[in-house]
A and B are shown apart, each in its own frame.
Chain A
Amino acid sequence: MIYDNAWKRADLRVLRRDRIGFVFQAPYLIPFLDATDNVALLPMLAGVANAEARAAALDMLTALDVQHRAHARIPELSGGEQQRVAIARALANKPPIILADEPTAPLDSERALAVVKILNRLAQEFQTAIIVVTHDEKIIPTFKRIYHIRDGKTYEEPGEGKQL
């Protein structure tokens, strides 16, 4: 249970900001902000002071190994770097849940596995549940619980939770 009161528009906004992190198939970063501010924007929206939010964002970028591109504009980043910045943004407010929609789709196998490794590591570090929707067979073994949706029917199978 992440929310149990009546749903209001403002509540939904706060819910999306503080309780859910999003990782999309494409990074969908804000192109007119640099990498740091893309990540820092969420804490700032939550009321954290600019300097503090930027310092936290830099820490997050460091954790994802893209700190060297902290001040780069989004179009200057590679696809993998953009995806890692997007993950950093999803984790910026340390939400209890991250919804990831095909997070490895734009990446090659090596980078896709690297991203999943990062997600797993951060899930443990920040006590975050990560729900991933994917068609990528390579990464399926890394999940602990797997739900297949086929022909409108859902069935569960235990995941291997393979460590990378």
Chain B
Amino acid sequence: MINLARRDVANHLGRYLLTGFGLGLLIGVTLTMAGVYRGMVDDAKVLLRAGGADIWVVQQNTLGPFAEPSSLQDDVYRSLEGLPGVSETGNVAYLTMQVKHAGKDLRVMVAGYTPGRLGGPAFLIAGRPIAQSHYEAVADAKTGFKVGDQVRIRRNNYSVVGLTRRMVSSGGDPMVFISLKDAQEAQFLKDNESIVNDRNRLSVNPNVNRPGQAGVLKAVEAIQTASRRVNAVLVRVKQGQDPRQVADNIKRWKHLTAYTSTDMEDILVAKLIATAAKQIALFLIILAVVSAAIVAFIIYTMTLGKIKEIAVLKLIGTPDRTIAAMIMQEALGLGVIGFFVGKFAATLWAPAFPKYVLLETGDAIRAFVITLVICALASVLAIRAALRIDPAEAIGG
């Protein structure tokens, strides 16, 4: 038996391919939206993965450095290292700020860590890690910096000594790593006028500046200007230890909040980006419905354009299933073309997005199946219309 769908498509191939191309662009937008969501989730997780920590220790009753302000003394790590099951620790401080690059403002997340300890940059693609205690930085390639560039953070210039890839904050901002001491200074640094003002206030405060006790004033001034705080302490447990158990111990004995990396993922994905994810999910659903409606309309219109031919086919004795198969095959063909065009388009334009767009193979397979199901369902309307055509219409003039 002749494949009627193939012959019909071959007869107006250009129009069919153009329709598939248009549909493909729509599918491409849908795939990209799914990729934007996946990218958000991946951005949220990449920092956790790169840190290499099993446990995140944060200020008591807070959700950690990314979801809520968290402040700890920077010597907490010493007492944590004494707990059973703890292998190594690392202080980290994070601050989101704007830096200049090539005359343009650039939003970055500055991360301070102690070189050689947990919390440093992963995925180094050029240069080297930080080796000096001050004024060296490792930047993500997405910032546009090159090894040897200078980046100004607050009052100081830092030499970029290394480049990473895929090191971004949960918000997608590229990261710049500096030493913990530099980060603490940058985080709590006051301007000169404020420091002078604070000193004046303290010097006229009789409770602090008592006659004959000059040491008190100096000590208070030192506390005010120095920063000995970090946002979190990363903990890696010894091999074979259960991170959950170690985290529970930290909570119980140190009066701190400790999250396992799984808990942190939940916080980042379920809490921090939940609203944005729902927004995208709703947009995806609307896009899918619109795509289905457009596919149904296209296939319905294509079928109505063949009323005479279908009437003739019915008049000469073509079974309904042959006509239905022709419409269904054309609809599925359109879906296949649309999917591959959409996949290609999404792959092509995804790198142009300012935030990471992650096109997962699983999503592509799901999209392919959904596209075929939508096309099959959409063709039902057209098949119903075709089967209702009276064979007499063939001779109806």
- Tell me the A residues contacting B by CB distance below 8 Å: 13-14, 16-18, 22, 24-25, 28-33, 37, 40-42, 44-46, 50, 73, 89, 101
Which residues of B lie under 8 Å from residue A73 when comparing CB positions? Answer: 11
B10 and A24 within 8 A (CB):
no
Shortest beta-carbon distance, B306 to chain A, in Å? Answer: 9
**Contact A24/B7 with A44-B1, A44-B2 known, Cβ cut-off 8 Å:** no
Which residues of A lie under 8 Å from residue B322 when comparing CB positions? Answer: 45
25 contacts across the A-B interface (CB closer than 8 A): A13-B318, A14-B317, A16-B315, A16-B391, A17-B316, A22-B316, A22-B395, A24-B394, A25-B395, A25-B397, A28-B312, A28-B394, A31-B11, A32-B12, A32-B309, A33-B4, A37-B2, A41-B316, A41-B318, A42-B317, A44-B2, A45-B1, A45-B316, A45-B317, A46-B317
Extra contacts besides A18-B317, A32-B10, A41-B318 (19): CB < 8 Å: A16-B317, A16-B391, A22-B315, A22-B316, A25-B397, A29-B312, A30-B312, A30-B313, A32-B8, A32-B12, A32-B309, A37-B2, A37-B7, A41-B2, A45-B1, A45-B316, A45-B317, A50-B1, A73-B11
Asked if B308 is at the interface (CB within 8 A of a chain A CB), the reply is yes
Q: Which of B10, B312, B315, B317 has the most CB of A within 10 A?
A: B317
B394 and A30 within 8 A (CB):
no
Chain B residue at minimal CB-CB distance from A54:
B2
A45 and B319 within 8 A (CB):
yes
Shortest beta-carbon distance, A124 to chain B, in Å? Answer: 24
- Tell me the B residues contacting A by CB distance below 8 Å: 1-2, 4, 7-8, 10-12, 308-309, 312-319, 322, 391, 394-395, 397
- Compute how far the CA of A45 lies from the CA of B322 in the bound complex, rounded to whole angstroms: 9
Chain A residue at minimal CB-CB distance from B12:
A32
Which residues of B lie under 8 Å from residue A101 when comparing CB positions? Answer: 395
**Contact A30/B317 with A24-B394, A37-B7 known, Cβ cut-off 8 Å:** no
- Compute how far the CA of A56 lies from the CA of B12 in the bound complex, rounded to whole angstroms: 28
Shortest beta-carbon distance, B108 to chain A, in Å? Answer: 60
Shortest beta-carbon distance, B5 to chain A, in Å? Answer: 10
A45 and B318 within 8 A (CB):
yes
Which residues of A lie under 8 Å from residue B313 when comparing CB positions? Answer: 30
Contact among B2, B12, B308, B318 with A28 in the assembled complex (CB-CB below 8 Å): B308
A-B contact count (CB 8 A): 61
7 closest A-B pairs by beta carbon, nearest first, are: A17-B317, A32-B11, A32-B8, A32-B7, A16-B317, A28-B312, A13-B317
Which residues of A lie under 8 Å from residue B2 when comparing CB positions? Answer: 33, 37, 40-41, 44, 50
Chain B residue at minimal CB-CB distance from A37:
B2
Chain A residue at minimal CB-CB distance from B312:
A28
A30 and B319 within 8 A (CB):
no
- Compute how far the CA of A41 lies from the CA of B316 in the bound complex, rounded to whole angstroms: 9
Which residues of B lie under 8 Å from residue A30 when comparing CB positions? Answer: 309, 312-313
Chain A residue at minimal CB-CB distance from B2:
A37
Q: Which of A13, A17, A50 has the most CB of B within 10 A?
A: A13
Chain B residue at minimal CB-CB distance from A33:
B7
- Compute how far the CA of A5 lies from the CA of B50 in the bound complex, rounded to whole angstroms: 80
Which residues of B lie under 8 Å from residue A28 when comparing CB positions? Answer: 308, 312, 394-395
Shortest beta-carbon distance, B65 to chain A, in Å? Answer: 65
Chain B residue at minimal CB-CB distance from A22:
B315
A24 and B316 within 8 A (CB):
no
- Compute how far the CA of A22 lies from the CA of B394 in the bound complex, rounded to whole angstroms: 11
- Compute how far the CA of A16 lies from the CA of B314 in the bound complex, rounded to whole angstroms: 9
- Compute how far the CA of A28 lies from the CA of B311 in the bound complex, rounded to whole angstroms: 10
Shortest beta-carbon distance, A26 to chain B, in Å? Answer: 8
Which residues of B lie under 8 Å from residue A46 when comparing CB positions? Answer: 317
- Compute how far the CA of A51 lies from the CA of B314 in the bound complex, rounded to whole angstroms: 23
Shortest beta-carbon distance, B391 to chain A, in Å? Answer: 7
**Contact A42/B316 with A16-B391, A33-B7, A50-B1 known, Cβ cut-off 8 Å:** yes
**Contact A24/B395 with A16-B317, A30-B312, A45-B1 known, Cβ cut-off 8 Å:** yes
Chain A residue at minimal CB-CB distance from B11:
A32
Which residues of A lie under 8 Å from residue B316 when comparing CB positions? Answer: 16-17, 22, 41-42, 45, 89
B395 and A13 within 8 A (CB):
no
Shortest beta-carbon distance, B326 to chain A, in Å? Answer: 10
- Compute how far the CA of A24 lies from the CA of B312 in the bound complex, rounded to whole angstroms: 10
Which residues of B lie under 8 Å from residue A44 when comparing CB positions? Answer: 1-2
Which residues of A lie under 8 Å from residue B394 when comparing CB positions? Answer: 24, 28
Contact among A17, A31, A42, A50 with B309 in the assembled complex (CB-CB below 8 Å): A31
- Compute how far the CA of A44 lies from the CA of B316 in the bound complex, rounded to whole angstroms: 12
Shortest beta-carbon distance, B316 to chain A, in Å? Answer: 6
Chain A residue at minimal CB-CB distance from B326:
A32
- Compute how far the CA of A44 lies from the CA of B2 in the bound complex, rounded to whole angstroms: 8
Q: Which of A18, A24, A32, A33 has the most CB of B within 10 A?
A: A32
Which residues of A lie under 8 Å from residue B397 when comparing CB positions? Answer: 25
Shortest beta-carbon distance, A42 to chain B, in Å? Answer: 6
Chain A residue at minimal CB-CB distance from B391:
A16
Contact among B7, B308, B309, B319 with A13 in the assembled complex (CB-CB below 8 Å): B319
Which residues of A lie under 8 Å from residue B7 when comparing CB positions? Answer: 32-33, 37
Q: Which of A25, A37, A41, A73 has the most CB of B within 10 A?
A: A41
